[in-house]
Structure formats: C-alpha cells, structure tokens
Chains A and B, each alone.
Chain A
Amino acid sequence: MNLIRKTLPLALAGLLLAGAASSEGIDVDGDLMRGIDDTAKSLDSNVAMKDGAAAAADARSLVETFARVESHYGEKPDTADAVGFAHRTQELAAQALKAIEAKDFDAAAEAVNQLTRSCKNCHEKYKKD
C-alpha cells in the first residue's frame, strides 16, 4: 500500500473540511516527495512482478499527484522548468499506466525507468542541497 494513496485523499479532505485548502491544492514539501518516492518504488516493483492491478493503482496515483504538482507550480512565477518536469513526469506515469493496462510490462518498465530519471533531473535543479 503506498503512502500517497493512503494519505493524499485524507490530507486533502481534511484541508477542505477545515476550509484551509491552499489555492495550489497541494503542499509540495518533503512529505509529498517521500510519498512520491515510495510510490515510484512500489510501481517499479509491481511492474517487475507483473502485478497489473497494483502497478496500475500506483501509476494512477502518480498521474494524479504530478497533475497537482504541475498545477501548483503553474500558479507560481519563474517556475517554467518545474512545470515542465512535473508535466513530463505526469506523461511518463500515464505512459506506464497505458502499458500496464495493455499488459506490456517491458514498455511499462522502460517508462518507469524514464520516470525515475525525470525525478532525478528535477531534483538536480530544485532539491535543496
């Protein structure tokens, strides 16, 4: 069970109930990144084990999360690169999902490989040392 699937809906629901949801709709912080990291590793593992249902759930979770990350950065100035990274990673998660649904696990594995590279590329620029 990955962290994002468990915590993201709860966190968002809590924020909405409290009427305190930020305009960005998501906090891009260390917790979120650790959740993404865990989901990406879970996706990688589930693709390797050809567990289509679990892999698809992970991929969907990443597509949704990166859509929110893209939206978050889209509302901030001077973040074109971050928007681009988030968009690219979202596309790769969607590509993985499509391959998983087609039961093409080799193609899914390649998409996940590209996805983790995209994560690293973004970290090179944005992760604070």
Chain B
Amino acid sequence: MTHSSRRDFLGHAGLGLGAAALGGLGLQLNVASAAELEDPQAPREPHFPAKAKSVIWLHMAGAPSTLDLFDYKPELIRLAGKPLPDSFAKNLKTATDGGVGNLLATKRTWKQYGETGAWVSDFLPNLAKQVDDIAFLKGCKTEGATHVISSLKLHTAGLVPGRPALGSWVQYALGSANPDLPAFVVLPTGVGAAGGGRGAVIWSSGFLPAAYQGTAFRKGDSPILHLARPEGVIDTEQRNTLDLIASLNEHGALTRTGDTELAARAKSYELAYRMEKSAPEAVDLTKETAATRELYGIGAKETDEYGTALLRARRLVERNVRFIHVISGAPDASVDSWDAHNNLEKNHGVMSKSVDKPIAGLLADLKARGLLDSTLVVWTSEFGRTPYGQSGNGRDHNPWGYTSWLAGGGIKPGSYGSTDEIGLRAQTGIVDTYDLQATILHQLGLDNRKVTFQYQGRQERPTTVFGDVIKEIVA
C-alpha cells in the first residue's frame, strides 16, 4: 500500500468520523465547514472569544474536607461534641455507617490571607499565598452519596456511566490546537485506586465518537504505553507496518461505515506515530531548571509525584493541549485517598502536603510565564465532607455543601457563596456541578446550551438541560 492510499484511507476514516459527527452534531455548534469535521482533531472556532485556551482540572479524588481547608466555621467549633441540631438535620438523608456522629470541630489553625482575606487552614500554607488569584466557590452542592455516582456527575453530568467527560466535549467542540498531541490528556497520580470514581469512566468519550476520549499519560519518561518504537525496529519498518494496518483497516471499514471505534483507531495509530516524538518531549522535565522543579516540590518524597504531574500539565499547556485532567492519589501507602472516614488529621496531613506545594507552584509558575490569564485552573472534588463526625475522628461524604475553586482563565478572584453556620449545606451562591461545567465551557468560548450531539434521537448537551454560568466570578 502506498502512502497516498494510506492517506486516502485516513481521509476516508476521518470522513466516516466526520459523517458520524455531522450526523450527531447539533446545528448550533459553530463549525466553519464540514471539512473541519473530517478530522476530529481539526481546530474549530468557539461560539465567542475565549478567555481561556486551556483547562487544568485538579480532581481531588476521594473528597477532601473543605471544612478543614477553606471553609472556616467558628460555630462548628463552638458546637463541637454536640449532636447535629434538628434545625440542620431536617430532611437530611444520611447513609453514615454507625449513624450520624456528634459535630466535629476542625483542629487546624486558620488565618485570612491576601487582599481578598480568604480563610485558609494551616494544612495549605503554600496555597494560602496564592489566594488573591483564586475564586472560591463556597456554596457548591451535588447529588449522590457515593464516590462513583458523584464523580460521574462531576465529570460527565450523568449519574450512570455512558456520558462523555467534559474534556471530551471540549475536544469535540474545539478540536485540537496541537495536531501532535491529544487535546484531552489525563494525568492520574498516586498509589492504588481507592475511593472509586477515578477510573477511565470519568474520562470516557461516552456516546461521542471514541476519538474524543481522554488519553491517560503514565508516569515516567514514556508517558504512553508502547509508544516508543521497539528496539531493533527502524522507522521505515514501522512506517510499512502502519501502512499495512491502515490498509487492513480500510478494508474493514468498507463493511463498517459509521464505526467510529475503527475510524478512531486508525486515526490514533497516526497520532501515536507523531506522538513518538512529541509526547516524550512534552513530559521531559530535564530541561526545566532546578528552581522550577523545586517550585513544584519535585525531588521531595511527599510532593515529587504530584509536582511532576503538575509540571507536566504546565508543559502541556505550553503545547496548546486544551484540557488536562490531573487526578490526585495517595503519595504512599499510609492513606488511600482524601476519603477520610476516620483519622482525618493524619489523612489530610498526608494528602494536603502532597498537593499544597505543587499547586501553589503551578499557579505561581503559570503567572510568572504569563500563562495564568489564558489557563483556567479548577480545583474540585466529587463532594465535600460532613461537619458531623464519623468513627470518632473522621467525616462522612457531604454532597450538600462544600468548596471548589477556580483560578486564571478570565476568572475574578474572591469568594462567592457560602454554606450554613456549620458547613453542612450550601446556603448562598449555590453552585451545582452543572454550573461549574457551564462556567468552564464559557471561559473556553463555548455556550453550554449550544454544544450539542444527537444520540439515540435526543440532542444531548455537556450539562444536560441544566447549567448556568456563574457570572459573578467571570472577569
């Protein structure tokens, strides 16, 4: 098979994808021409000028207690040790093992920082210095009481698997700004996978064509498994092999029109071929200065892995990757994740230390390089944790009220919304996950109601029928 026929096939494969995409595409997506859809990676215009070019989504898997990080509650301290008052417990459906414990006060020391006066506990001393670049959303709420369900809602706007992740919608709507790298990269960190809701289902393309799924990068110098050319195989041999595979796929595609899996695979071989050089270079930190590496906590046991992931994220932003999804994990076997049903002090001590310096370093580094204005950093989790205790010294899942934050990417720093006096439920400035998703899309120049894909006879949207942009935090 010649290169020309291979290219023909890939063009046709793209056309198949394009046709599938066109079939499902809402009329309102601002696409200049059908030709752009022949390649799922082809850049597409936003609905309106974007404030952010890239998103770094910091998913705190397992759900930290924002009552011990950002949401200072003197009343909870005052009421510590007492049962949850009836006035707060009304209509509350809890699933805590062993019943709802007495109110549990934070043991941390709190201070207000920066010009915005944001409260931050001593779990996060480095991040506390960056608060003037952060918009805290203190009235977040969601649904579900399990990690898997709430994590699906956070990432896909659905309560069951099958919907596309937000990063997939972004890639679908905007294409890729770098043809040699995936537009949606996932950087999982940590040991184990405890806590649930952190697997591939949260970066799946769902019902969108398979080409839009997130690409998980591994740790180490070779970010994508089997990407490097095997030892003893020269470039020509590899090229010939790829051409043969393309030829076979072309043959198979003749009887499988509209098979987006096959078309995506054919495209992915070519992308992988290009990524043999681009991906290792993108994650090669040897060219970073010692000062930069230190800024992210690289080299220190507690922060090395997460810091490495965040420095990679910055390098991917510099290479115009649109959506980078960093999933937190335990830095060692002493804890599982942020999921502190017991011994919260120890758990959050370890987890906070692993992310505090790297995240502060990321914000400072992006700002120093002039990238923060065009990079939206999102810090969130599937839910928060309860003000009442569990197991004596832990906290249970709290979908009713917690804190998330955004920085950069055209976001106005400050504090928006609040929980009640003990931090149980969102009370003002209530932000559902749909609203957070709508706001992220808005900063990327996308109207969440105008990005549509037809699936099973319905026009589906990234945020379903919900989702309002949080205008109060848009600069």
Interface check A44, CB cutoff 8 A: yes
Across-interface contacts of A113 in B (CB, < 8 A): 449, 465
B454 & A129 in contact (Cβ 8 Å cutoff): no
The answer to whether B93 and A112 touch across the interface, beta carbons within 8 angstroms, is no
Question: Contact between B458 and A41 (Cβ–Cβ < 8 Å)?
Answer: yes
**B:457-475 near A, CB below 8 Å:** 457-460, 464-466, 468
Q: How far is the CA of A124 from the CA of B142 in the complex (A)?
A: 11
Given contacts A42-B458, A129-B92, A129-B93, contact A48 B26 (CB under 8 A): yes
- B93 x A48 contact (CB < 8 A): no
The answer to whether A71 has its CB under 8 Å from any CB of chain B is no
Q: How far is the CB of A61 from chain B (nearest CB, A)?
A: 15
In A28-85, the 8 Å CB interface with B consists of 40-42, 44-45, 48-49
How far is it, in angstroms, between the C-alpha of A129 and the C-alpha of B465 when the chains are bound? 21
A40-B465 contact in complex given A48-B26, A128-B91, A129-B93, C-beta closer than 8 Å: yes
C-alpha spacing A72/B399, complex, angstroms = 30
A120 at the interface (CB under 8 A from B): yes
Give the residue among A42, A44, A117, A128 with the most B Cβ atoms within 10 A. Answer: A44
A129 & B464 in contact (Cβ 8 Å cutoff): no
A48 touches B465 (CB 8 A): no
| A32–B97 CA distance with the chains assembled, in angstroms | 30
How many A-B contacts if CB must be within 8 Å?
Answer: 35
What is the bound-complex CA distance between A119 and B262, given in angstroms? 41
For chain A, give the interface size range: 10 to 19
Query: Contact residue range for chain B?
Result: 20 to 34
Is A45's CB under 8 angstroms from B458's CB?
yes
Residues of A within 8 A of B93 (CB): 128-129
In the complex, are the beta carbons of A48 and B452 less than 8 A apart? yes
- With A124-B430, A129-B91 as known contacts, state yes or no: A116 contacts B465, CB within 8 Å: yes
Indicate if the CB atoms of B432 and A49 lie closer than 8 Å.
no
B interface footprint on A99-129 (CB within 8 Å = 1, 0 otherwise): 0000000000100110011001000100011
Q: Which residues of A contact B (CB under 8 A)?
A: 40-42, 44-45, 48-49, 109, 112-113, 116-117, 120, 124, 128-129
Query: 16 more A-B contacts (CB under 8 A) besides A113-B449, A116-B466?
Result: A44-B459, A44-B465, A45-B457, A45-B458, A45-B459, A45-B460, A48-B452, A48-B459, A49-B459, A112-B465, A113-B465, A117-B468, A120-B432, A124-B430, A129-B91, A129-B92
15 contacts between A and B (CB under 8 A): A41-B464, A41-B465, A42-B458, A45-B459, A45-B460, A48-B459, A49-B454, A113-B449, A113-B465, A116-B465, A116-B466, A117-B468, A129-B91, A129-B93, A129-B400
